Amino acid sequence: MHSVLFSFTALAGLAAAKKCMNATVPVTISARTGVFGNVAVPQTNLEATVFIQNMTQQGRNFSQIALTDYATTAGTYDISAKFCQPDNSNSTNPTVQVLTHGIGFDKTYWDLSYNNYNYSYIDVATAAGYCTLSFDRLGVGNSSHGEPRDEIQSFLEVEALHALTMMLRNGTYPGVNHAFQTVTHVGHSFGSAQTFALVNMYPEISNGIVLSGFSINSSFVSSFMTGGNFMLANTNAPVRFGNTTAMMIQELVNASPLADYLTGVDLSVIPPGQGLPNGYLINNNIEALQLLFLYPGYFDPMLEVLGEQTKQPVTIGELLTLGAVPTMNNYAGPVLVINGNGDVPYCGGDCSATGNPMLPSIPAGVKMALPKVQASDFMAYVQPNTGHGINFHYNATAAYKIIQNFLSSKNLGSKY
């Protein structure tokens, strides 16, 4: 068996001992999706606010109220993905980690370039000998976008994750000359929920899973929705998500007092907006981002600015299917749940406040939904001085090493 998986020019930064390949990967998928005919797609920011108010009202399930039917959604979608392997790897039986990001981010969550990749999860994973596949979920980044209510939903995205995983297992992932025998899955937040759903539907698909920013306690998700003050993405960031072109920006600048200050600046390099339709929402501002993802005093303020500049939208269809997580899971393999101690959406800001002396942390409660997982194969860890967006904190790499050590302890590392 050849140890070299692929051959190409390294895309990594100077400090990163990894080789990476970007690809647009078509996946042909089909899923049973909800038809939410009892809720209109928000057309204004005020209507987006009403939608969130409906979603967060206690004592009722608005997703169930909005649901009028089910349909089969099928098609071929493009997934923007990044495959990385250790530089100079000599593994004959490598393990690949499939990385699924959450709401508000894209695949760069796993490979933050800030401060010379000092916060890169992929750097730590590849240094430990793993290959990684990160990707933009449907509706995000450079992957396919679609109708925001009845198409881009969790159900369809789980099938995209399944398709990518099977490519890795079958040796059909573009440009990678290997069929992986050992595949693990690492998720964050909504990406963890999709990982959790994936292994319930396909219990043999993963040799081990890591659920970061996750719990089965949904009591606090409404805090996430209201705290984000969600708006239409195409009005909140029109240059990125509207129909704005470089020519339009140049005309606006020329007609403004800024014209003299920007003389000689080439605005033609600004990429065109994605033209997202109404129904793609986004957290309002940097203050909302901090509330949702960051633990005060334990992050670099400039990384927070980067998070605001690169924030990504969520569809109302995703929010309507956010709770589509199995209450009992068929999976029987190793599971690590890792949360920041100040995680807002899944711990209410304090992962130790369980109200149950027999339950050491809220993440530990996930074991109750995994009856087939042996106690020795389950671990819950609370990362100190950390919020929901673990990768954006000063001590992120400590959490990364917990993950690598857990996988290694379950004999899921690359073999040499």
pLDDT of residue 252: 61
Q: What is the pLDDT of residues 214-239, one digit of tens each?
A: 999 989 999 999 999 999 999 999 98
Please, what is the Cα angle at 273 between 137 and 28, to 5 degrees?
30
pTM beyond 0.95: no
Q: Is the pLDDT of residue 10 over 60?
A: no
Cα-flanking dihedrals φ and ψ of residue 87, to 5°? -65, 135
Residues 169 and 338: their CA atoms lie apart, in Å, by 26
Is 398 exposed, middle or buried, given 0-12, 13-18 or 19+ CB atoms closer than 10 A? middle
Q: Output the average pLDDT for the chain.
A: 92
Confidence of residue 3 (pLDDT cuts 50, 70, 90): very low
Least confident of 80-89, 247-256, 392-401: 247-256
Residues 93 and 271: their CA atoms lie apart, in Å, by 41
Q: Is 333 helix (H, G, I), strand (E, B) or coil?
A: coil
pLDDT of residue 14: 38
Q: Under 8 Å CB-to-CB from 126, ≥6 apart: which residues? A: 16, 17, 18, 84, 85, 86, 87, 132
Q: What is the mean pLDDT of the segment spanning 303-327?
A: 96
Q: Is the pLDDT of residue 295 over 70?
A: yes
Q: What's the token pair of residue 158?
A: 């789980």
Residues 288 and 79: their CA atoms lie apart, in Å, by 28
Provide the percentage of residues in the chain whose pLDDT is more than 90: 85
The continuous run of DSSP H or E covering 85 comes out as strand 69-86
CA atoms within 13 A on the CB side of 101: 30
Q: Is 358 helix (H, G, I), strand (E, B) or coil?
A: coil
Q: Under 8 Å CB-to-CB from 379, ≥6 apart: which residues? A: 335, 336, 337, 406
Q: Is the pLDDT of residue 120 over 90?
A: yes
Provide the percentage of residues in the chain whose pLDDT is more than 70: 90
Looking up tokens 């051959």 gives 7
Confidence of residue 162 (pLDDT cuts 50, 70, 90): very high
Q: What is the pLDDT of residues 15-64, one digit of tens each?
A: 458 999 999 999 999 999 999 999 999 999 999 999 999 999 999 999 99
Q: Under 8 Å CB-to-CB from 279, ≥6 apart: which residues? A: 41, 42, 147, 148, 149, 315, 316, 317
**Number of helices and strands in the chain (H, E):** 14, 11
Q: Under 8 Å CB-to-CB from 300, ≥6 apart: which residues? A: 114, 115, 394
Q: What is the pLDDT of residues 317-326, one digit of tens each?
A: 999 999 888 9
User: Of 5, 210, 15, 241, whose CA–CA distance to 111 is shortest?
Assistant: 15
User: Of 371, 406, 408, 400, whose CA–CA distance to 119 is shortest?
Assistant: 400
The continuous run of DSSP H or E covering 278 comes out as none
